[in-house]
Amino acid sequence: MMRTLAAIRGDIRAQWPSIVKRARVRRGARKALPLNPTLLGTGTKTEKGEGLGYLTSVVYMSPAREAFGPGDKRTLCPMATAACSAACLGVKAGRMIMRPVKRSRLWKAALYLGARDFWRELLVAEVESFQRTAERAGLVPVVRVDGSTDTGEGARLVERFPSVTFYDYSKVPTRALAHAGDPNYRVTFSYSGQNASDAQRVLAAGGNVAVVFATPRKGVLPTHWKGAPVVDGDLTDLRFLDPAGGVVVGLRFKAAAGRAKAMRAAVLGGFVVEA
């Protein structure tokens, strides 16, 4: 029998000091746990889906090595590059750079690393609650588990929640290709500048590839990349609505601070493609 959210959260709070100790993350995680720990949240881009009949919720944890101290080689994005890590949402763009949001990402990462069973139990309970909320509002429930990470945890929920649509981005090619036939899970491969052959393989197999272009915030995206048609991925974040069959999901480079300098670095690192 599934436990209530209150019971799960109570156990997390009670065991939090030992959870943080096992997680071995940056200082500050112990004080970052909120009164009602909640994994699912929203973002500016995901909110656009409501006008299309979808209610979206996302898990944002510390990306790549953000949760870890100097010299710690662990990562929550196994195929991350220096360029994509430097240009990640939590470093340069939008509300994700704010300190309270970083603290939120940190405690979620600490829970994931220090008590994976609790993390999964909490996520399942929240998705179940979120599904009811969406359906009461007459909206289709949509969940993105790897909002800022690349753990592949979303795949664990697909069969349990057949009426929920799941989607993720991933730089792991096998992950992007493995779920091509899932009716309620779409994984879009992410181009990093260092995985061109994998991107071509995904496109050839009929999968879609997300590419960040050095285009002004409201600028025009190229029509094709590497011979594949480009669709505008900034209109919504609902990647399961993209045409199937090998298209490029074009994204414009975003940065809230030092945009020009950040873009130059990202282009040099290969993560951002000059249009």
Residue 63's pLDDT band (boundaries 50, 70, 90)? Answer: very high
Count: domains in the chain? 1
What value does the mean pLDDT of the chain take?
A: 90
Regarding beta strands 165-170 and 209-213, do their DSSP bridges make them parallel or antiparallel, or are they unpaired? unpaired
Q: Percentage of residues in the chain with pLDDT exceeding 90?
A: 75
Can you say whether the dihedral through the CA atoms of 131, 136, 140, 142 is positive or negative? negative
- Distances from the Cα of 254 to the Cα of 57, 132, 147, angstroms: 21, 34, 16
117-129 mean pLDDT:
98
197 burial class (0-12, 13-18, 19+ CB within 10 angstroms)? exposed
- Is the predicted pLDDT of residue 270 greater than 90, yes or no? no
Contact between residue 149 and residue 29 where contact means Cβ atoms under 8 Å apart: no
- Is the predicted pLDDT of residue 86 greater than 90, yes or no? no
Closest CA to 221 of 255, 256, 247, 240: 247
Q: Residue 51: which domain range?
A: 5-273
Regarding beta strands 272-273 and 248-252, do their DSSP bridges make them parallel or antiparallel, or are they unpaired? unpaired
- Is the predicted pLDDT of residue 45 greater than 80, yes or no? no
- Is the predicted pLDDT of residue 275 greater than 70, yes or no? yes
Residue spans of beta strands (DSSP E) within the chain: 40-41, 54-59, 140-144, 165-170, 185-190, 209-213, 224-225, 228-232, 248-252, 272-273
Query: What is the rounded distance in angstroms from the CA atom of residue 46 to the CA atom of residue 239?
Result: 10
118-132 mean pLDDT:
98
- Is the predicted pLDDT of residue 143 greater than 80, yes or no? yes
In the prediction, which pLDDT does 76 show? 97
